[in-house]
Structure 1
Amino acid sequence: MGGETTGPNVVDLIGREHRELLALCAELTGEGTDAARRRSIAQVLSAGLSRHLSAEEQYLYPAVRSIVPDGYALVDREIVEDRALLEALRLLEAAGDGDRPARAADVCRRLTRHADAAAAELLPMLLQMAPVEDLIRLGNRVELAEEAAPTRPHPGTPSTPPWNKVVDPAVAVVDKMRDMMSRRTTYPQDL
């Protein structure tokens, strides 16, 4: 008699993360947020979104490619968009207070497109075609991958397995050391 697979399914996990990241965007671009808070929110958004995209590219996209009809075309489109989103994040991180609103708006627009594409296409198809146990296993893998993922945008790193599964954790070690040395905020609960 085997054990039961437990944990969040990948569809619920990704959907929740998209909502959390979009909420950070809303606060970042909203009225009444002072410059220091915007800097902190931008750092947390960048770290969270970098972790999120890394885990999607390591586990979600390969699953979509293998299970969903025309999954290759969907994933290839998303990887191109993810690279542009990472570049927009890199520019946001480098922005001064004067440039931050425009850079933040660009990141938020790209993140909204990313979340909408996942909610409209990728996740419903995966939910329909994959067994629940596989979705839960995939959710567990995504959560683990996020903890070992970079906390800064690296648009030039590999975006497909096996190389991203090797490079991303190595880059993450450097990112986390830089975060620790600079006391950079990387999680929403630390804002």
Structure 2
Amino acid sequence: MTNPRGNGLRSVAEQSEEERGGPGSILSRQSRDHADLDALMRAYDDEPDADARGRVVAELAERALRHAFAEETVLFPAYRQHLPEQGEELTRHIEGDHQQVNELLVQLQDADPRSPDYDATVRRAFEVIRHDAHDEEDDLLPRLQRVATEEELRAIGAAWEVQRRTAPTRPHPKVPRRPPGNALAAVPLAVTDRVKDAAEHLAAGSAVRRAALAGALVGAVVAAVAAARALRRR
């Protein structure tokens, strides 16, 4: 893409929460999530222990995948609706980056953090994630801000948050990057991902933690069922 700083738009990173439309606006939600992802990437850089680095990558992967899924199911369709002449090109670019991140995270999922190639793969994923965050905050989100009302930005933000909370937690490169295919595939994948997540934690957790995780799994299943019902109502 062209240099976003030459587009005459003001980056949402330079705006106050009020200017973005409040805490519930998609601009504010995206910006907060980008900051959280950046903090995890910096935590990886600061962590000398290989096992701890692997745990940081696992947490970042889950958050990045949820973030991307919410973009693909809610935010990118909003771009294409509100920016019919530009939205297709803008979103296709980042969808390609999301596909690349999914493929890199598949490689990292069962990799040994001590292996020679691990850090290089992590760095490639970080580069794409950071590139996307800058493109979105400097270019895509300000474009949407120009044409959407604050009420519309908050409605997009609320829908984005629902999808983020119920999204799959593991990489699935073969899933379509656009609705309705990605949204329909997400319902069973969100359940199976959480079953796998819970099984991994249960194997190592205390009795109290196991009980808490079992409760979280039940909640995840309920959320996935609710998402499926919402899809049927559309």
| TM-score over 0.5 (shorter chain) | yes
1:162-181 superposed matches below 5 A: 162-181=180-199
Q: What is the alpha-carbon distance in structure 2 between the residues aligned to residue 150 and residue 33 of structure 1?
A: 29
Are 2:169 and 1:155 equivalent residues in the alignment? no
Q: How far did residue 85 of structure 1 move?
A: 1.3
**Cα deviations by residue, 1:97-116 (Å, 9 ceiling, x for unpaired):** 22321111111111111101
Are 2:73 and 1:58 equivalent residues in the alignment? yes
Q: How far did residue 140 of structure 1 move?
A: 0.7
Quick one: which amino acid aligns to residue 65 of structure 2? Answer: S
**Cα deviations by residue, 1:15-68 (Å, 9 ceiling, x for unpaired):** 11011111111211x144311211111110111111111110000000001112
Quick one: which amino acid aligns to residue 171 of structure 1? Answer: L
Q: Which residue of 2 aligns with 1:91?
A: 107
Quick one: which amino acid aligns to residue 160 of structure 2? Answer: V
SS at match of 2:74: helix
Q: Name the CA shift for 1:132/1:104 in 2 (closer, same or farther; >3 Å).
A: same
**Cα deviations by residue, 1:138-174 (Å, 9 ceiling, x for unpaired):** 1111111011101011111011111111111221110
Q: What is the alpha-carbon distance in structure 2 between the residues aligned to residue 15 and residue 91 of structure 1?
A: 27
Q: 1:103 aligns with which of 121, 129, 138?
A: 121
Quick one: which amino acid aligns to residue 114 of structure 1? Answer: D
Q: What is the alpha-carbon distance in structure 2 between the residues aligned to residue 78 and residue 31 of structure 1?
A: 28
Quick one: which amino acid aligns to residue 99 of structure 2? Answer: R
1:112-123 superposed matches below 5 A: 112-123=130-141
Q: What is the alpha-carbon distance in structure 1 between the residues aligned to residue 140 and residue 174 of structure 2?
A: 24
Bigger radius of gyration among the two: 2
CA contact (8 A) 1:25 1:104 kept: no
Quick one: which amino acid aligns to residue 70 of structure 2? Answer: A
CA contact (8 A) 2:102 2:171 kept: yes
Higher relative contact order (CA 8 A, sep 6+): 1
Tell me the TM-score normalized by structure 1: 0.88
Are 2:18 and 1:13 equivalent residues in the alignment? no
Q: Which residue of 1 aligns with 2:7?
A: none
Q: What is the alpha-carbon distance in structure 2 between the residues aligned to residue 169 and residue 121 of structure 1?
A: 31
Q: What is the alpha-carbon distance in structure 1 between the residues aligned to residue 177 and residue 169 of structure 2?
A: 15
Aligned length: 179
Q: How far did residue 90 of structure 1 move?
A: 1.5
Q: What is the alpha-carbon distance in structure 2 between the residues aligned to residue 124 and residue 16 of structure 1?
A: 15
Q: What is the alpha-carbon distance in structure 1 between the residues aligned to residue 155 and residue 185 of structure 2?
A: 23
Which consecutive unaligned segments of at least 5 residues does structure 1 have?
1-5, 185-191
Q: How far did residue 179 of structure 1 move?
A: 0.0
Q: Which residue of 1 aligns with 2:145?
A: 127
Q: What is the alpha-carbon distance in structure 1 between the residues aligned to residue 92 and residue 47 of structure 2?
A: 39
Tell me the TM-score normalized by structure 2: 0.73
